Amino acid sequence: MRLILSNDDGFDAIGIQTLWQGLSAEHATWMVAPAGQQSAKSHAFTMHDSVRVVRRGNQAWAVEGTPVDCAYVALYKLVGMDVDWMVSGINRGSNLGSDVLYSGTVAAATEAVIHGVPSIAVSLCEGGSPAYAHYETALEVVKGCLSKLPGFAPTGGALCWNINVPNVPMPSLKGVRVAPLARREYAPKVKQVGGDDSDMRVMLGGDHVAFHGSGVADGPLLEEGYATITPLNTDWTHREVLSGMPSGLDLAGLG
């Protein structure tokens, strides 16, 4: 197969280097990743400035931009569209539930889907001892998915498969479950770290509180020790609501 690797942790992150070492021996593989940390950049795309791209090896480039920039320049400049998969990760930390809205890891993968290339976004979750030690477990899950998942994709369409893997040795993994997204709750937090009320610096985001949803959703299953796989679509249309609405609305006072 022909694979493009990307991520949001940066070119030198252990997760993407694990993918490179584990996949390039078996597949034609290119790596196009951010030059530095780009976590939680979501689907940001550089439109009003140039983006520097630096060759870092044979079939490997570091991009001074976002994960989406990486996917786009890989497909339309560095590698081309004749590829089988975009694989984004292995992210350091989970991308469960509503995390997918913020994740640069998922964004690189969904950008590929927009252009017709199927993708995997893979994350190694927090917890376990020592922390983030078992990237090889996530690598083995990806290897299995590359061969198994194409049979479930819609005809003529591409999907992003969001995969989360517990930080455990492969023999301790309970299994792999297909799951919907949970809703992830974080404690609201804005912490002032400098300045005063007229000119301040703040840090955003609190700790994980809980997953909401049934026990078959991705977050609860991950906590039980399963790797999870969720198919993601780039169409955000709420079709149930849409089907119950008229084709036009008469809003009084509007022309």
pLDDT at res. 63: 98
Q: Is residue 114 part of a domain?
A: yes
Q: How far apart are CA 6 and CA 149, in angstroms?
A: 19
Split into its structural domains, the chain has a count of 1
pLDDT at res. 184: 80
Structural domain that includes position 54: 2-183+213-235
- Prediction pTM value: 0.92
Q: How far apart are CA 204 and CA 16, in angstroms?
A: 27
Q: Is residue 37 part of a domain?
A: yes
Among all chains, which residue has been given the structure tokens 């930080």?
Answer: 167
Q: What are the tens digits of pLDDT across the range 193-227?
A: 999 989 989 888 888 777 887 789 999 999 999 99
Q: Is residue 245 part of a domain?
A: no
Q: Please enumerate in sequence order all residues whose Cβ is within 8 A of that of 37, keeping only pairs 6 or more positions apart, or say none.
A: 8, 9, 10
pLDDT at res. 254: 64
Q: Is residue 250 part of a domain?
A: no
Q: Is residue 13 part of a domain?
A: yes
Domain CATH for 16? 3.40.1210.10
Q: Is residue 126 part of a domain?
A: yes
Q: Is residue 154 part of a domain?
A: yes
pLDDT at 156 over 80: no
Q: Is residue 194 part of a domain?
A: no
CA torsion, ordered 207, 210, 216, 221, to nearest 10 deg = 50
Mean pLDDT computed over every residue of the chain: 93
Q: How far apart are CA 88 and CA 31, in angstroms?
A: 10
Mean pLDDT in residue range 174-182: 95
Q: Write out the two tokens for 191.
A: 């912490």
pLDDT at res. 154: 77
